[in-house]
Amino acid sequence: MLPLAVQVLIALWVLQMIFVPILKWMGGARAERVGIEVGVLLQTTAVLALLATAWPLPRVLVAAVIVVVLGWLVEFTGSRTGLPFGSYHYTSRLRPQLGGVPLLIPLAWLMMLPPSWAVATLITGDGSRWLTALVAGLAFTAWDFFLDPQMVH
C-alpha cells in the first residue's frame, strides 16, 4: 500500500485535473493555464514522492536533476535548431523561462518519464532493459503526441 502522503498527492492531482475544465469555464484561458501549471507541479511532486518509496532520496534527487537538466537542454536545442522535433518556439505565456524554455516543460518531462517506464515495464515484464527503454520511449512519445496539440492551443 502506498504511503498516505503519496495517496493524498495523487488524489489532489486527480481532483485538480478534473477541475481544469471548470476553471476554464469560470475564469477563462488564464485560469485554465494556471490549473494546468498546478497540475504539472502536483503530478511531478506525486511522482517524486512515489519514487521515494522505492529508491533512496539521494537517488530520486539525482534522477530528477538529470531528467530536468536533460529535458531543458533538449527543449532549448530543439526550439533553437528544430532538432529533433522540428521547428517550434515557446511564447511568453508560460513563465518563468530559462533561455526561452518554460521551466514547466522539463518538469513535465520529469512527471511523465517514470509513468512511461512503469507502463513499459508492465508491457515487457522482466524482459530486456533495451526493450523496456524502447517501449517507454514509445509511451512517452504517445503522451507527447496527445499533449502537444493541446499546448499549441
User: Is residue 74 over pLDDT 80?
Assistant: yes
Q: Please report the DSSP string for 36-64 in residue order.
A: HHHHHHHHHHHHHHHHHHHS-HHHHHHHH
* Judgement on whether residues 84 and 142 belong to the same structural domain of the protein: yes
* Judgement on whether residues 63 and 37 belong to the same structural domain of the protein: no
Those residues with Cβ within 8 angstroms of residue 22's Cβ, 6 or more apart along the chain or in another chain: none
The answer to whether the pTM exceeds 0.85 is: no
User: Is residue 75 over pLDDT 70?
Assistant: yes
pLDDT at 102: 92
* Judgement on whether residues 120 and 45 belong to the same structural domain of the protein: no
Mean pLDDT score across all residues of the chain: 88
Residue 118 near residue 87, CB atoms below 8 Å: no
Residue 120 near residue 135, CB atoms below 8 Å: yes
* Judgement on whether residues 30 and 79 belong to the same structural domain of the protein: no
* Judgement on whether residues 79 and 131 belong to the same structural domain of the protein: yes
pLDDT at 121: 92
E strand or H helix at 29 = helix 4-54
Q: pLDDT by residue (tens digit) across 84-133?
A: 777 888 888 888 999 999 999 999 989 888 889 889 999 998 778 999 99
* Judgement on whether residues 69 and 133 belong to the same structural domain of the protein: yes
The mean per-residue pLDDT over the stretch 134-138 comes to 93
Q: Which residue has the cell 499546448?
A: 151
User: Is residue 152 over pLDDT 70?
Assistant: no
Long-range (24+ apart) CB contacts under 8 A made by 74-82 are 75/101, 75/105, 75/106, 76/100, 76/101
Rounded Cα gap, residues 74 and 79, in angstroms: 8
pLDDT at 151: 67
The x, y and z cell numbers of residue 98, run together, are 530559462
Range of the domain at 44: 1-54
Q: Are strands 97-98 and 101-102 parallel, antiparallel or unpaired?
A: antiparallel
pLDDT at 72: 94
